[in-house]
Amino acid sequence: MNYKIAVIPGDGIGREVVAQAINVLKVVGEKFGHNFDLIEVDAGGCAIDKYGEPLPAQTLEVCKNSDSVLLGAVGGPKWDTLPGNQRPEQALLGLRKGLGLFANLRPAVLHNALIDASPLKPEIIGDGLDIMVVRELTGGIYFGDRRRDGDAAFDTMKYSIQEVDRIARVGFEIAMKRGKKLTSVDKANILDSSRLWREVIEKVAKEYPEVEVNHMYVDNAAMQLVKNPKQFDVIVTGNMFGDILSDEASMITGSIGMLPSASLGTEKLGMYEPVHGSAPDIAGQDKANPIAMIISAAMMLRYSFDMEEEAQSIEKAVTNVLDKGYRTGDIMSDGMKLVGTKEMGDLIMKEI
């Protein structure tokens, strides 16, 4: 069967890490008998330079007509002086909205081989970590009414029952396939929008009696992530809270270069990208860690194409390479073998 994938390398190290993910997908296709039809399009800073806008209409159209989207990274200092609505990052917002992607999945996985890279003490981390943050992506304060008014400004946090219901169901479905434990994070002691959030979570929870549910205020959740992260399995939360907590969770794992993400909607079409940025300071130097991008491709196989065995083959290959002591610079430690972007990709391909 053929699968049509829109590929957006983007800016900085995006092209380098995407190239390794594509190589891995080709090996998976050969091993399992799949054909991935890759179509490269532009978005981000490179699109501004070429077309004068961060998300050209033709890019969005190709993405809409694909089975999935792989995205490297967008942005960089070159475009920092542009107005906010013209910056490369607007491509991400446009893609999420245009493709109807409302659920952002950000797994924070600490491999046993990288426990020393975590800033937390070994006795807190134990034998590794595996948390899934489910962040609502198209509502809340980032999309509410906002305005500058003289010497003041306001941003509005707004959620509807329907918006909370659909992200809640994504969280519960994922929890059912993991440890059957879900933590809903809000600020219901202060915010009306959070009180609505909690009510809807409780209502949906009745449909998933096997899942253990608890509620936590966002400030306490931030504290608990560094105090006792192993208490968490699935965290479901709103847009801004999820943005902050998923970054915090990512740094517990030791390197943002290790973390993938998926953005999903109601259909199988999703957008898959590493959590890290474009890192222009190391672009073109064969220094970037491609693992986050490669595992993002594994998430694509799992969530958009229902290829669990194929996804696991990639994840197992990454674990094996790390267990053998190979490291890119961002996760390097004494006694390990330093490799570049391309060699890390080659090693993972060989393991598959």
Report the distance separating Cα 350 and Cα 317, nearest Å: 8
Q: Is 219 a catalytic residue?
A: yes
Q: Which of 64, 78, 142, 217 is catalytic?
A: 142
Q: Find the angle CA(133)-CA(134)-CA(139) to the nearest 5 degrees.
A: 130
| Residues 6+ away with beta carbon under 8 Å from 101 | 95, 137, 138, 263, 264, 265, 270, 271
- The count of residues in the chain is 352
Q: Is 159 a catalytic residue?
A: no
Q: Which of 67, 187, 233, 272 is catalytic?
A: 187
Distances 207 to 102, 173, 175, 186, 232 between C-alpha atoms, Å: 21, 11, 13, 21, 21
Q: Which of 130, 247, 286, 346 is catalytic?
A: 247
Q: Is 247 a catalytic residue?
A: yes
Token code pair at residue 301: 């196989």
Burial of 1 (0-12, 13-18, 19+ CB in 10 A): exposed
Q: Is 31 a catalytic residue?
A: no
Token code pair at residue 226: 């560094």
Report the distance separating Cα 184 and Cα 172, nearest Å: 10
DSSP-assigned letters across all residues of 190-213:
T-HHHHHHHHHHHHHHTT-TTSEE
Q: Is 78 a catalytic residue?
A: no
Q: Which of 37, 165, 219, 306 is catalytic?
A: 219
How large is the greatest C-alpha to C-alpha distance in the chain, in angstroms? 62
**Catalytic residue ranges:** 142, 187, 219, 243, 247
